[in-house]
Chain A
Amino acid sequence: MSVQPPARPRSRERARAGTAVGVDHVRGGWRMVGRYVVLVAVALLVLFPIYTTLVASLKPGSKVLDHPLLPGNFTLQVFRDAWTEGRLGRYLWNSTVVAVLVTVAQIATSLMSAYAFAFLRFPLKSFWFVVFLGTLLVPLEATLVVNRRTIDSLGWLNSYQGLAVPFFATAFGTFLMRQVFLQIPKELREAGQMDGLGHWGFMREVAIPLVRPTLGALALFSFLTSWNQYLWPNLITTEEKMNTVQTGLRLLNSSVPDIERFNVPIAGTVIAALPIALVLIVFQRQLVRGLTAGAVKG
């Protein structure tokens, strides 16, 4: 997940090497060594919780507290136990289904509503835009009491629909995509009309290819937000098999009282964290773009 500066121009990089780093060299190499010492020390502090979690999950439970900070007595048995007893395969699958549904739906609804706000003329347009933006001010927590009842009356408790459908649209996505649609030159739309492209055709052939980077950032952001949901699945899931990986972790943590194997939930936490770590390593550029675009709904 490194933050490679995506938009830094080459010339500035050269300027930087020529001035600031040059100054550093004058001050001497010891300063450089000092920098690395500080960087390594801070990195170890940041990684400390992850490190101890890994160390604790790779030992038998009875050995964890002997030397809690040092690896030893290597075993993968705890991971096997966590996988089978925690039913993590099932929960990871549930989380994936819900997050993919939400992502695809949010992309579709955001693209369409953003296109309407950017390219179409219709009555009360600015009023509707303010209504859309207004939904951003409503915290999720203020709506879920009623949403639980709505989902209940639809018979959608313990279902993928219940977990996913309330999040099928996002004003944040609409706003973000409208911003980039507005940057498309008017001449392109006019040229498209000359070629006989209707609005759907223009959206598919011209507009969407032009905004693909932002679309990627929105997709990743939607996926992560959905994957990390904790309160909502807790509210509408009562059947064990419909847990997502987040609520499943809570279940696993509260269900292993055995002192000899108290690190089974620790290994479960590692398993639950791995897929997102991989996703973020692959899509780090989209992540930085998505977060810096104004991820207010986090």
Chain B
Amino acid sequence: MSGRSLGRRGREWMLALVMLGPSAVILGVFVLYPLGRAVWLGHQRCDAQAKNCATKSWSEYTDVFQSREFQHSLWVTVKFALLTVPIGIALGIGLAVLADRHLRGIGFFRTVFSSTVATSVAVASLMWLFLLQPSRGVLANVGWLQDLFPVIKSPGLLHDPGTALSGVALSSIWANLGFTFIIVTAGLQSIPRELHESAYVDGAGGWRRFTNVTIPMLGPTLVFASVVLTSRAFQTFGEIDLLTAGGPTPQDSTSTMTYLIYGRTSPIKSDAGLQSAVAVLLFIVLLVLSLLQLRGIEKRVHYGS
């Protein structure tokens, strides 16, 4: 009896091995191994093919962290997240509240508001490039607009060191709008109707109901959206590559961390050791950030029924 059940358990182990095997191999070879390898490479300096790497000390990491280039890219990335995440979430809430009504034809407006999820990074970035180019761009050739914002015509929103990052942020906020709208709409629909009704009966006006019922009940949704948007902001590459290539130089106003690692014009693009060091630091920064955000969830968020 016990022998038979042991046999069955043994077969279950084998089966588990077979079923987990493919995932484990892929995740091991293409996620865990490269992370470990990058940690190792990060304290080495390599030539372009990473064939010849010279081992240095682990203090290389602090050197890289303190380097002007890394500090600059970290600051640019933080600024980019601060530009895109709060505005993106506010706009998402605005659109979702606007469309959360029973009106004739509201389905059409919901389709429009979620339409930007259909654009990839390349498509969205190129659309905004055509809008923002200084000479042949659409906005630069609309008279009243260039009177209002002369920077659009000269040197161009993406070519002025002071505004380039905002230009990229504009494209990114727009591209993420559909995602935020969908998430917040789903959150709104899970708020029990009775809460709004009792607040209404208690004499709360539209704005009071929005701040005292809608926003607190959206808590988990908004945290989720901000976690996703923040991690996207920290991993932004395509927008930078297509819109500014890390420039305008020499300030490198849009050289984010991922652009520092992979950018075509990055000063470290031919040193796999330095690239790995920055990649590992990016991983650590994102890890710390998600831990902070998860603690925020536990402390602040009100979970609805």
Q: Which residues of A contact B (CB under 8 A)?
A: 1-5, 7-8, 12-13, 15-17, 19-21, 23, 32, 35-36, 38-39, 42-43, 46-47, 49-50, 52-53, 56, 64-65, 68-69, 108-110, 112-113, 115-117, 120-123, 128, 131-132, 135, 137-147, 149-150, 165-169, 171, 174, 199, 227-228, 230-231, 234-235, 245-247, 249-250, 253, 259, 262-263, 265-266, 269, 272-273, 276-277, 280, 287-288, 291-292, 294-296, 298
Determine the distance from Cα of A52 to Cα of B182 in the docked complex, in whole angstroms.
24
Question: Are B178 and A140 within 8 A (Cβ)?
Answer: no
Question: Are A296 and B20 within 8 A (Cβ)?
Answer: no
**Contact indicator per residue, chain B 119-133, by CB within 8 Å of chain A (1) or not (0):** 111111011111100
Question: Are A112 and B22 within 8 A (Cβ)?
Answer: yes
Q: Is B227 an interface residue (CB 8 A)?
A: yes
Which residue in A53, A149, A199 is a CB contact (below 8 Å) of B50? A149
Question: How many inter-chain contacts with C-beta < 8 Å in the A-B complex?
Answer: 285
Q: Is B181 an interface residue (CB 8 A)?
A: yes
Are A280 and B117 also in contact (CB < 8 A) when A121-B9, A135-B32, A137-B287 are?
A: yes
Interface 9-residue window, one of B62-70, B152-160, B189-197, B296-304: B189-197
Interface 9-residue window, one of B82-90, B161-169, B273-281: B273-281
Considering the complex, give the chain A residue whose CB is closest to the CB of B177: A46
Q: Is B15 an interface residue (CB 8 A)?
A: yes
Contacts of B107 in A (CB 8 A): 2, 4
Contacts of A12 in B (CB 8 A): 193
Considering the complex, give the chain A residue whose CB is closest to the CB of B171: A49
Question: Are A253 and B34 within 8 A (Cβ)?
Answer: no
Shortest beta-carbon distance from B131 to chain A in Å: 6
Contacts of B189 in A (CB 8 A): 5, 7-8
Which residue in A7, A19, A147, A288 is a CB contact (below 8 Å) of B197? A19
Contacts of B120 in A (CB 8 A): 227-228, 230, 246, 272-273, 276
Interface 9-residue window, one of B93-101, B210-218, B246-254: B93-101
Contacts of A145 in B (CB 8 A): 34, 38, 41, 261, 272, 275-276, 279
Question: Are A143 and B35 within 8 A (Cβ)?
Answer: yes
Shortest beta-carbon distance from A145 to chain B in Å: 5
Q: Is B283 an interface residue (CB 8 A)?
A: yes
Contacts of B122 in A (CB 8 A): 230, 245-247, 249-250, 269, 272
Question: Are A53 and B130 within 8 A (Cβ)?
Answer: yes
Given A1-B115, A65-B141, A295-B228, 17 new contacts (CB under 8 A): A16-B102, A35-B103, A39-B98, A109-B23, A116-B20, A137-B290, A139-B283, A166-B30, A171-B23, A171-B27, A199-B15, A250-B242, A262-B136, A266-B130, A273-B118, A296-B228, A296-B231
Contacts of A138 in B (CB 8 A): 31-32, 35, 283
Q: Is B61 an interface residue (CB 8 A)?
A: no
Contacts of B286 in A (CB 8 A): 137, 139
Q: Which residues of B contact A (CB under 8 A)?
A: 9, 12-13, 15-20, 22-27, 29-35, 37-38, 41, 50, 95, 98-99, 101-103, 107-124, 126-131, 136, 138, 141-142, 174, 177-179, 181-183, 185-186, 189, 193, 196-197, 200, 224, 227-228, 231-232, 234-235, 237-238, 241-242, 257-258, 261-262, 272, 275-276, 279-280, 282-283, 286-287, 290
Question: Are A17 and B19 within 8 A (Cβ)?
Answer: no
Are A46 and B141 also in contact (CB < 8 A) when A3-B182, A269-B123, A292-B182 are?
A: no
Determine the distance from Cα of A75 to Cα of B252 in the docked complex, in whole angstroms.
40
Contacts of A50 in B (CB 8 A): 115, 127
Determine the distance from Cα of A122 to Cα of B9 in the docked complex, in whole angstroms.
8
Contacts of A115 in B (CB 8 A): 19
Contacts of B231 in A (CB 8 A): 139, 296, 298
Determine the distance from Cα of A263 to Cα of B27 in the docked complex, in whole angstroms.
42
In order of increasing CB-CB distance, the 10 nearest A-B pairs are A146-B34, A169-B26, A2-B111, A143-B34, A122-B16, A230-B238, A112-B19, A116-B19, A113-B23, A166-B30
Which residue in A142, A149, A246 is a CB contact (below 8 Å) of B272? A149
Question: Are B23 and A174 within 8 A (Cβ)?
Answer: yes
Determine the distance from Cα of A169 to Cα of B28 in the docked complex, in whole angstroms.
10
Question: Are B109 and A52 within 8 A (Cβ)?
Answer: no
Sampled A-B contacts (6; CB under 8 Å): A3-B182, A16-B102, A43-B109, A50-B127, A113-B22, A139-B234
Question: Are B22 and A168 within 8 A (Cβ)?
Answer: yes
Which residue in B38, B98, B113, B179 is a CB contact (below 8 Å) of A143? B38
Which residue in B13, B98, B110 is a CB contact (below 8 Å) of A122? B13
Question: Are B31 and A143 within 8 A (Cβ)?
Answer: yes
Question: Are A143 and B30 within 8 A (Cβ)?
Answer: yes
Question: Are A291 and B279 within 8 A (Cβ)?
Answer: no
Contacts of B200 in A (CB 8 A): 23
Shortest beta-carbon distance from B12 to chain A in Å: 5
Question: Are A142 and B35 within 8 A (Cβ)?
Answer: yes
Determine the distance from Cα of A47 to Cα of B15 in the docked complex, in whole angstroms.
52
Shortest beta-carbon distance from A36 to chain B in Å: 7
Determine the distance from Cα of A273 to Cα of B122 in the docked complex, in whole angstroms.
9
Determine the distance from Cα of A134 to Cα of B174 in the docked complex, in whole angstroms.
31
Question: Are A150 and B185 within 8 A (Cβ)?
Answer: no
Contacts of A42 in B (CB 8 A): 95, 98, 113
Shortest beta-carbon distance from B236 to chain A in Å: 10
Are A141 and B258 also in contact (CB < 8 A) when A1-B117, A47-B112, A50-B115 are?
A: yes
